[in-house]
Amino acid sequence: MSDLWENTEHPIVTWVNSGENWLSKQIEPINQRLLVVEIAAAILGPHPGEIAGIAGAYPLEIKPESDVVKVRFFDFVSYSVTEEMFAQQSDQETSSGSWLRVFSNSFFLDFVAQSTWATSDFPGKLTHYQINTLDHTINVVTLNPPEILKVASDTR
């Protein structure tokens, strides 16, 4: 299924937001006009180990059978990738969603307005989309809603 992600009511967005653990699989700017982000459902690794001094912890991994979602942003104005542990949200921002969010008011929209030529006059009304995973927060400001696609896993 491929469609435009305009709001958090989209069936793929609803499905992702109801998931438990998502990891960034790929973040790739194709050229100046296309950004492709793939996220995958994390699966528990087969063997527990010690992680950061915690014994018996299972790693979360992307495996061939992981569900994958691809998001394509065409004609984006700006994007940023932040290591998850440094990302923060503010109650001064307005958004809907969880793993996948749409902002109507955000510090990133303010940053884009103050640091680029992009305005509501040109290229038009901008929207801030955010993809949250266990390892990254990806912020994208764009004129057009992105395309979202659930990708078949390698084992199906």
In a domain, 74, yes or no: yes
127-to-15, 31, 79 alpha-carbon distances in Å? 21, 20, 12
Task: For 8-63, write each residue's pLDDT tens digit.
Answer: 899 999 999 999 999 999 999 988 889 999 999 999 988 898 888 999 999 999 99
pLDDT of residue 83: 95
In a domain, 156, yes or no: no
Task: For 76-109, write each residue's pLDDT tens digit.
Answer: 999 999 999 999 889 999 999 999 999 999 999 9
- State which H helix or E strand residue 69 sits in: strand 68-74
In a domain, 97, yes or no: yes
Res. 152: pLDDT tops 80: no
Backbone angles phi, psi at 66, to 5 degrees: -65, 140
Domain assignment of residue 104, given as a range: 2-46+53-151
Domain count, the chain: 1
Report how far residue 133's alpha carbon sits from residue 23's, in angstroms, rounded to the nearest whole number.
Answer: 5
pLDDT of residue 155: 54
